[in-house]
Chains A and B, each alone.
Chain A
Amino acid sequence: MAAKRVYVLFRMAIFSAVLLVCFSLLAGAQSAAVTPNPTEQLRDLLQKSRAEIKEFESAAKARPKDAIPPDNDPRLKWSKVLWEFREHHLNTPEAATATAESLRYQVQAGQFAEALSRVDSLSPDDTAWGDLLIVLRDAAERKGDDAIFLSRARALLARTDDKPLRARIQYNIGRVHQLAGRDGEAIAAFQAAVAEGDKLEYAKVASGRIYDLTKLRIGQPAPDFSVTALSGKTISLASLRGHTAVFVYWASW
Chain B
Amino acid sequence: MKSKYESKGLVLIGVPADSEVSKLREAITRLAISWDQAFDPQGDSGALWKLFNMDDLPNFVVVDREGKLAAKGVQADKLAPLLEKLIGM
Which positions in A face B, CB cutoff 8 Å? 208, 211-212, 216-223, 225, 227, 229-231, 233, 235, 237-238, 240-253
Contact = CB atoms under 8 A, between A and B. Distances in A.
A237 B67 contact: yes
Interface of B: 8-18, 21, 23-28, 35-40, 44, 47-49, 51-54, 56-72, 79, 83, 86-87
Contact of A240 (B58, B67, B79): B67
Given A230-B24, A245-B62, A251-B18, 6 more contacts: A243-B9, A244-B8, A246-B61, A249-B17, A250-B17, A252-B23
A9 B10 CA distance: 100
A218 B21 CA distance: 32
Contacts of A231: 36-37
Contacts of B15: 247-250
- The listed residue with most B CB atoms (<10 A of its CB), out of A217, A220, A237, A247, is A247
A244 B51 contact: no
B60 A221 contact: no
B19 to A, nearest CB: 10
A250 B57 contact: yes
B86 to A, nearest CB: 5
Contact of A249 (B47, B58, B69): B58
A245 B69 contact: no
A221 B69 CA distance: 6
Given A242-B9, A247-B48, A222 B67 contact: yes
9 contacts: A222-B67, A229-B38, A230-B38, A244-B70, A244-B83, A248-B13, A249-B54, A251-B44, A252-B23
A216 to B, nearest CB: 6
A248 B58 contact: yes
Contacts of B13: 229, 235, 245-248
A234 B44 CA distance: 19
Nearest to A215: B53
A233 B39 CA distance: 11
- The listed residue with most A CB atoms (<10 A of its CB), out of B47, B70, B79, is B70
Contact of B40 (A208, A221, A227, A252): A227
A246 B11 contact: yes
A243 B47 contact: no
B17 A251 contact: yes
Contact of A244 (B10, B17, B47, B56): B10
- The listed residue with most A CB atoms (<10 A of its CB), out of B28, B47, B53, is B53
A74 B1 CA distance: 48
